[in-house]
Amino acid sequence: MNNEWITRVDPIEPVPGPLHGLTMALKDNIDLAGVPTTAGDPRTTEPAKDNAFVVDQLIAAGAVPLGKTNLDQYATGLVGTRSPYGACHSVFSSEHVSGGSSSGSAVAVATGQVDFALGTDTAGSGRVPAAFNRLVGIKPSRGLVSARGVVPACRSLDCVTVMARSVATARRVFDVMVAFDPDDAWSRRMSSLPHRRAGRVDGSVIGVPDVGLGLDPEYEQAWQATLDEAHRLGDVVKVDVQPLLEAADLLYSGPWLAERWLAFGDKLDDSAAVDPTVRTIVRGGAALTAAAAFAGFDRLATLKRATEEPWTQIDALLLPVTPGHPTLAEVAADPIGVNSRLGRFTNMVNLLDLCAVAFPGPDRADGLPFGIQLLAPAGHDLSVIDLAALWCGEEVPPSAVDTDVLLAVAGAHLSGQPLNDQLVRRGARLAFTARTASSYRMYLVDGPRPGLTRTLSEADGPGIEVEVWSVPAAELGGFAATIDPPLAIGPLELSDGQQVLGFLCTADAADPERDITASGGWRAYLAGD
């Protein structure tokens, strides 16, 4: 028998709203007024005085809470076995783990007891149990969903997540969950993040690892079938995932372990109520120094920089959720080692400020589920949700955002140049390289910066080197506001006659003595300067 529930409550009368009548379960580190929030520690018996912010949002939208679900104690684990209330197993096999730490939430949804459930995801805890129970799990960008009223694991990384049996249901809940909370210091407005929602998700560029992933044999077969499906849905580009995998290793070896100790280390005494594996892991955070913390932050910054370039080429990165699906016996024999391996493809997502959605891939040959996930930079949540819906054969809602705008850049916004990050942070993606029509000349203006001006007559020559970036239309106005005179954004013609937007300078700034057209482009000018 599975041990998904810790506490059940009487249903309330639903109010009208977008979630009217949908039933929900709450991981028991999320406050529900009148019910103790144990976080898997039965010594906590005092009822919560108020609902968590996100629970209030959902109830106000018509959702009905049915109770609190089991979890790895203090949300520390990806297995679903570290609980004094008993271990959970996958609904498809009594021998295999359900995944954690949101173990009970996944089981409650997969067995049809509720329409959706809330979990939390610091290292992958909203995606691993979804994968092991053939569910959809949306992990929002950090801060989009308030964590006020949630027992912290790593406060700087914790995300409230939703699991459901379809993308459509999970998305309905996601739309309600996302709300700025001024009383949560980690809360972020969606409008403050670069956002992208592809106009045509069936034409998306999907990144896949350029190396083998060391999957279990049953998973390797399902992964190869997944890669075949990716080619059907869009263009597939191989990318270097090594920096992401290295970042994943930092979560339990860097300063974030100390953050767990800060959050609940005082609860990890020698009581029999404390899971011994949780105690062993988190007590290690007490010895970390400030110097070690800054070393970890510096290493993460280096790895994050190494991951930035692929996002200019792809819309989403495709990965398995886990390398395999362990049994309860395997976890009992090696509780830390098996758990660590499960986080190989999930631990880095919050560290690198990415959003993610997990959903079912092709089943293993033995019929057990195989979960896959799509990752993208923070703010691109709707893009990966739309792509997951398409992948699962569900209807994709019409885009609420205009199609992207093509913008030609010729100077400091080129790839590898100092201001390129201004494009990347706004969700822009490199579309192609090109040259301007031959009638354009390039001048040095204040900065120094290059500016393009079109002459009245055609000139001989190949034109000026440019990169053409695809910029979300909603981001173009804000980006244009960062451009100082005498430069401005205006219509520009490429050598093939295509019209795009580009960086132009006013005629009065076109000083013949500062004409650098002969260089052929900004990079060539810098190299020869």
Any idea which residues carry the catalytic annotation?
A: 27, 101, 125
- Continuous segment of H or E residues that includes residue 217: helix 217-233
Overall size of the chain counted in residues:
529
Q: How far apart are CA 28 and CA 84, in angstroms?
A: 13
Q: Which token pair is 271? A: 């009581």
Strand pairing report for 5-8 and 429-435: unpaired
383's CB contacts (< 8 A; 6+ apart) are: 196, 197, 198, 201, 204, 315, 316, 376
Tokens of 138: 């949306």
Residue type (1 letter), 471: V
Q: Which two tokens stand for residue 410?
A: 């010729």
Answer for the pair 104, 181: CB distance below 8 angstroms, yes or no.
no
Helix (H, G, I), strand (E, B) or coil at 113: coil
Q: Residue 94 and residue 383: Cα distance in Å, rounded?
A: 35
In 3D space, the residue among 36, 74, 69 whose CA is nearest the CA of residue 263 turns out to be: 74
Order the strands of the 23-27 sheet from edge to edge: 5-8, 64-69, 23-27, 116-121, 159-164, 136-139, 354-360, 371-377, 316-320, 205-209, 235-239
- Tokens representing residue 285 in the block: 């955070």
Q: Cα–Cα distance between 41 and 73 in angstroms, integer?
A: 6
Tell me, letter by letter, the H, E, C secondary structure of 391-405: HCCCCCCCCCCCCCE
Evaluate the CA torsion angle 411, 417, 418, 423 in order and state its sign: positive
Q: Which residues are registered as beta bridge partners of 359?
A: 372
Q: What is the maximum alpha-carbon separation in the chain?
A: 85
